[in-house]
Every structure is written in C-alpha cells, then in structure tokens.
Amino acid sequence: MAGKITQLMDESAAKSPWLYHINTGSCNGCDIELVACLTPRYDAERFGFKLAGSPRHADIVVVSGPVTSQSKERLIRTLAQVPEPKCVVSIGSCPRSGNVFKGSYSVEGPLEKYVHVDVSVAGCTPKPEAIMEGLYRAAQILTEKRKAMHK
C-alpha cells in the first residue's frame, strides 16, 4: 500500500511540473516563445505545465539569457530556493554559449558554470514546439530524480 502511494507520487512528479522563469539578460525573444507555449495554440497545460509565481512552488526552472554580471548572483540565489527534486532547462543559444553577447565585459556565461543544466534547448530563438519538447523531457527527468531521492 505504502509502496503504491510512493509510486503514484513518483509518477505524478512528471505529470504536474510547475515552471519558474528566470530572465538573465535575455533579449526577450525566448521569453515570448516560452509564453507562446502556454497560449491556446500550443497549450502546455494539457501536460500539467503551469507558470508558478514563486521559486518555492517550482519544479522546473527555465533560464533564458547569457547570464549577465548583474543577474548572476540573483540567479544562484533563486536556484537555491527551489525545493528538490528540481530540473533546470535553458532556452536559446545564450545560456549555452553566450551567443552574440560572447566576450562582452558584462556577460559571465555560460550557465553550465553555475548549475547543472538538465535540458538545453538550442536556437535563437527556439520554436515553441522545441521548447515544449524540452520541457516534456525535463518532466520525465523529474520522475527519475524523485525516484533517486528515496533510495
């Protein structure tokens, strides 16, 4: 009985992933495409995705932007507030490589330097379909992380 409930809890981790979005100096392109995922046309809510207002409610942290010096400290502090199990998804080319901002005095990317990125969606900007697929994979990773927690 207890095992069954634990199994149910593990499975529902993948079925209700709540997103928290951090913009670390993005040009707003990826942010718009992320919001497009939640609109009626793509409707990410059919997989249980929901935009949460507080990092304490989040399961998946979505990061866009090349990590500027100003946002670095806030990014690390916000990520520390997210309860386990959590996933980090980076959207766009900026968190991966710095994109056109690479070499700037105020850019301290890539994101990999500060946190383990579970899923990285490439593109400038990625299409909503690609973002959806990335988020869906992150949701599957959540279940694995949850299973690993009680081992």
Could you tell me the smallest distance in angstroms from the CB atom of residue 114 to another protein?
20
Could you tell me the smallest distance in angstroms from the CB atom of residue 72 to another protein?
22
**3-class DSSP string for the chain:** CHHHHHHHHHHHHHHCCEEEEEECCCCCHHHHHHHHHHCCCCCHHHHCCEECCCHHHCCEEEEECCCEHHHHHHHHHHHHCCCCCCEEEEECCHHHHCHHHCCCCCECCCHHHCCCCCEEECCCCCCHHHHHHHHHHHHHHHHHHHHHHCC
Could you tell me the smallest distance in angstroms from the CB atom of residue 65 to another protein?
20
Q: Which of residues 137 and 145 has its CB atom nearest to another protein in the complex? A: 145
Could you tell me the smallest distance in angstroms from the CB atom of residue 11 to another protein?
8
Residue ranges binding another protein (CB under 8 A): 6, 8-10, 12-13, 15-16, 40, 43, 45-48, 51-54, 56-57, 59, 81, 83-85, 146
Q: Which of residues 86 and 96 has its CB atom nearest to another protein in the complex? A: 86
